[in-house]
């Protein structure tokens, strides 16, 4: 593509950056988030969605999200199916609320539509000021802890136990051993700041799985690239649950998650805060697209910070990352041999990164801010339910402010949200 066209399209000179810097930032961002192509299908497969079809959907959704960020917002942020979002899809919408994955895609659609409407009105700016920063970041931190818990559970590192609910597995368990060794390798690569650390770790974990006999490589003898079956998740909406109260609880809870999780992520990472409105709108559109393509909702990934730290300031960064997702479609047959124990450590590490980046923003010196945030963060993994944690956080925040004489720090929005969650707890 002509340099002049790129300069004009992404306002490279106006942003005081260079094409080379933006492309390198995009490549780096892609390398750090490419693991989602492997992991998202594995997580959504727990809800009964076909792995290969969801993996194709993941690639398409990631491409769409990056293109929206590039051309709608001219923003360096990267949009992919979020790790907390896929966990919400499986463990809240399907397992907890009892929806099928087809009905859950409708919930994602409606949450996306609500997000779009809010992002195009003054509500977006209003919410960014009306909801306390401590709760916005607590949502991200809580989801991070939730995702990490799933990593320990899915990797067989912690197992169920009747008396104490959970306990550590023994090293004699080959799945747990593979997960632990893979986690150690990934942590070493991350600490040494090796580019593509998570991707390299997954490859090493697969090899460890082969050596320990838990990786099935027989399917490689029948290697065949095929997109047959993708039609099973594309436009696979089932609207039959719209008269079900649980469905609307799911829509409301997911809307809360995508609104505030992405608001916190974008406001904390955007080099140019004036791009927030357009970036937020791009995020909203991508969630509607995700439901159409057959995936859980998208999120502004924390790994966007890697590209931004290298100088990425424009949509050329997200455009470059988006383009690089397309070739991964041809590696899907290889991805099917990767064992869950090579993927579980990714959940642990991504969960930590989400937790770390968010919890630092919570003012723990003010107990009326810290306690609701703590309840929100801990109730999510302990109840294995993200909406429960959000509800505990909002309700306790309002009560503590009222009981400690800080009523002036509350607004009508907080009362309304807390009241809605109170209804949720009584009726659910």
Q: Please write down the HEC assignment for all residues of the chain.
A: CCHHHHHHHHCCCCCCCCHHHHHHHHHHHHHHHCCHHHHHHHHHHCCCCCHHHHHHHHHHHHHHHHHHHHHHHCCCCCEEECHHHHHHHHHHHHCCCCCCHHHHHHHHHHHHHHHHHHHCCCHHHHHHHHCCHHHHHHHHHHHHHHHHHHHHHHCCCEEEECCCEEEECCCCCHHHHHHHHHHHHHHHHHHCCCCCHHHHHHHHHHHHHHHHCCCCCHHHHHCCCCCCCHHHCCCCCCHHHCCCHHHHHHHHHHHHHHHHHHHHHHHHHCCCHHHHHHHHHHHHHHHHHHHHHCCCCEEECCCHHHHHHCCCCCHHHHHHHHHHHHHHHHHHHHHCCCCHHHHHHHHHHHHHHHHHHHHCCCCCCCHHHHHHHHHHHHHHHHHCCHHHHHHHHHHHHHHHHHHCCCHHHCCHHHHHHHHHHHHHHHHC
CA distance 405 to 187: 45
Share of the chain above pLDDT 90, in %: 61
pLDDT, average across residues 85-105: 95
User: Is the four-CA dihedral 202, 208, 214, 220 of positive or negative sign?
Assistant: positive
Residue ranges making up the domain that contains 129: 16-427
Asked whether residue 402 is domain-assigned, the answer is yes
CA distance 346 to 6: 35
pLDDT of residue 302: 82
Asked whether residue 11 is domain-assigned, the answer is no
pLDDT, average across residues 59-86: 95
**Lowest-confidence pick of 49-53, 77-81, 128-132, 150-154:** 128-132
**Lowest-confidence pick of 54-63, 144-153, 332-341:** 332-341
pLDDT of residue 231: 92
Task: Report the range out of 81-85, 129-133, 162-166, 237-241 with the highest average pLDDT.
Answer: 237-241
Asked whether residue 5 is domain-assigned, the answer is no
pLDDT of residue 65: 97
Asked whether residue 10 is domain-assigned, the answer is no
Asked whether residue 327 is domain-assigned, the answer is yes
CA distance 86 to 297: 7
pLDDT of residue 223: 59
pLDDT of residue 320: 96
- pLDDT, one tens digit per residue, over 361-396 is 999 999 999 999 999 999 999 998 888 999 999 999
pLDDT of residue 83: 86
pLDDT of residue 264: 84
pTM of the entire structure? 0.87
Q: Is 155 exposed, middle or buried (0-12, 13-18, 19+ CB in 10 A)?
A: buried
Question: CA nearest 38: which of 345, 308, 381?
Answer: 345
* 45 pLDDT more than 90: yes
Residue in this structure with the two tokens 């550590």, named with its chain if needed:
168
CA distance 290 to 68: 12
* 195 pLDDT more than 90: no
More confidently predicted of 428 and 159? 159
pLDDT of residue 99: 97
Asked whether residue 9 is domain-assigned, the answer is no
| CA contacts within 13 A on the Cβ side of 26 | 27
pLDDT, average across residues 82-101: 93
* 17 pLDDT more than 80: yes
Residue in this structure with the two tokens 């010196």, named with its chain if needed:
365
Is the distance from CB of 70 to CB of 307 less than 8 angstroms? no
pLDDT of residue 357: 84
The chain-wide mean pLDDT, for the chain, equals 90
Asked whether residue 287 is domain-assigned, the answer is yes
CA distance from start to end of the chain: 54
Band the pLDDT of 219: cuts 50, 70, 90.
Answer: low
pLDDT of residue 23: 93
Asked whether residue 163 is domain-assigned, the answer is yes
Distances in Å between the alpha carbon of 26 and those of 114, 216, 284?
30, 34, 21
* 39 pLDDT more than 70: yes
**For the chain, what is the domain count?**
1
pLDDT of residue 95: 94
Q: How far is CA 131 from the centre of its chain?
A: 21
């Amino acid at each position: 593509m002509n340099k002049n066209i790129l300069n004009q399209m992404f306002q490279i000179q106006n942003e005081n950056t260079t094409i080379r810097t933006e492309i390198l930032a995009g490549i780096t961002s892609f390398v750090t988030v490419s693991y989602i192509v492997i992991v998202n299908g594995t997580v959504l497969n727990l809800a009964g969605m076909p792995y290969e079809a969801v993996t194709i959907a993941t690639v398409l959704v990631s491409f769409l999200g990056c293109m929206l960020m590039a051309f709608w917002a001219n923003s360096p942020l990267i949009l992919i199916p979020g790790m907390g979002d896929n966990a919400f899809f499986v463990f809240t919408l399907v397992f907890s609320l009892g929806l099928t994955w087809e009905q859950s895609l409708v919930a994602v659609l409606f949450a996306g539509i609500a997000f779009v409407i809010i992002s195009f009105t003054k509500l977006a700016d209003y919410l960014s000021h009306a909801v306390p920063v401590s709760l916005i970041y607590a949502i991200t931190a809580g989801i991070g802890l939730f995702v990490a818990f799933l990593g320990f559970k899915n990797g067989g590192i912690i197992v169920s136990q009747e008396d104490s609910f959970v306990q550590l597995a023994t090293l004699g368990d080959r799945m747990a051993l593979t997960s632990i060794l893979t986690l150690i390798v990934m942590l070493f690569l991350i600490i040494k700041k090796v580019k593509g650390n998570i991707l390299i770790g997954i490859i090493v974990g697969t090899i460890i799985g082969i050596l320990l006999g838990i990786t099935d490589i027989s399917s490689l003898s029948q290697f065949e690239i095929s997109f047959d079956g993708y039609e099973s998740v594309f436009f696979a909406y089932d609207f039959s649950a719209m008269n079900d109260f649980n469905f609307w609880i799911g829509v409301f809870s997911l809307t809360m998650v995508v609104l505030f999780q992405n608001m916190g992520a974008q406001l904390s990472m955007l080099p140019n805060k004036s791009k927030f409105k357009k970036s937020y709108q791009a995020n909203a559109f991508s969630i509607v697209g995700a439901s159409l393509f057959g995936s859980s909702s998208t999120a502004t990934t924390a790994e966007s910070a890697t590209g931004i730290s290298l100088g990425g300031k424009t949509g050329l960064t997200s455009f470059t990352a988006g383009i690089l997702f397309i070739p991964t479609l041809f590696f899907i047959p290889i991805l099917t041999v990767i064992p869950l124990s090579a993927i579980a450590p990714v959940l642990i590490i991504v969960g930590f990164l989400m937790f770390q980046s968010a919890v630092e923003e919570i003012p723990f010196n003010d107990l009326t801010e810290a306690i609701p945030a703590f309840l929100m963060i801990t109730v999510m993994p302990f109840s294995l339910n993200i909406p429960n944690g959000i509800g505990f956080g909002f309700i306790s925040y309002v009560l503590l402010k009222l009981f400690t004489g800080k009523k002036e720090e509350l607004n009508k929005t907080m009362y309304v949200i807390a009241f809605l969650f109170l209804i949720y707890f009584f009726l659910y």
